[in-house]
């Protein structure tokens, strides 16, 4: 899938497992996302992240995804400037049981508030609709300025996630 943005400044690509550069770019952007979250003092699973093998773990995550149940869109000019990844999850209490879950979403700081995120999000939401999902979910760190963006897209708060590191665990 390839799509030029309105003014032709960037293209949007559905990441394909055969495109090595796309996965490399997604790994770099995901790493940048994690570093940005940590710089804001984000707590939770990021506090127990194995930073030594972070790039390898990110790559393994994306390469291992089932293309029927997950999608990654990347926006690029000369280089990658943002991406979104989502997965379909079956929920036992929902009929039909397909829920879209946005697992990662990042736009490079210099491209924020320029429509890149909205285009990426729109592609992801359309993909979920095409796959028969009845709702979307995502997790966002408390204090993340993107919360306003998500609320503008119709997301509502409904749950608080708590995380506790267990002593003695790896």
The mean pLDDT of 58-86, rounded to a whole number, is 85
Number of domains in the chain: 1
Q: What are 34-58's pLDDT values in tens digits?
A: 778 777 666 555 555 555 667 777 7
Cis ω on the peptide bond leading into residue 98 (within 30° of 0)?
no
Average pLDDT, the chain: 80
- 170 part of a folded domain: no
β-pairing verdict for 135-138 and 80-90? unpaired
Q: What are 78-126's pLDDT values in tens digits?
A: 788 999 999 999 877 766 788 999 999 999 999 889 888 998 999 999 9
What residues make up the domain containing 101?
A: 2-152
CATH number (domain holding residue 33): 3.40.630.30
Q: Could you give the 3-state DSSP secondary structure of residue 117?
A: helix
The pLDDT, as a whole number, for residue 32 is 80
The C-alpha atoms of residue 8 and residue 91 are separated, in whole angstroms, by 39
- The overall longest dimension of the chain from CA atoms, in Å, is 53
Nearest to 14 by CA among 82, 81, 72: 72
The pLDDT, as a whole number, for residue 2 is 44
Q: What is the pTM of this model?
A: 0.78
The C-alpha atoms of residue 88 and residue 136 are separated, in whole angstroms, by 9
């Amino acid at each position: 899938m390839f799509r030029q943005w309105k003014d032709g400044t960037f293209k949007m690509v559905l990441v394909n497992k055969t495109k090595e550069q796309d996965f490399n770019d997604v790994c770099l952007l995901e790493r940048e996302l994690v570093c940005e979250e940590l710089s804001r003092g984000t707590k939770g699973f990021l506090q127990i992240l194995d930073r030594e093998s972070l790039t390898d773990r990110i790559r393994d995550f994306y390469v291992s995804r089932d293309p029927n149940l997950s999608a990654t869109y990347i926006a690029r000019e000369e280089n990658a400037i943002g991406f979104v990844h989502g997965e379909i999850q079956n929920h036992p209490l929902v009929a039909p049981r397909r829920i879209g879950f946005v697992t990662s979403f990042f736009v490079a700081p210099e491209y924020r508030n320029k429509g890149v995120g909205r285009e990426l999000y729109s592609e992801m939401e359309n993909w979920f609709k095409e796959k028969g999902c009845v709702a979307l979910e995502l997790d966002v760190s408390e204090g993340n300025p993107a919360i306003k963006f998500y609320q503008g897209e119709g997301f509502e708060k409904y749950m608080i996630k708590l995380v506790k590191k267990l002593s003695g665990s790896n």
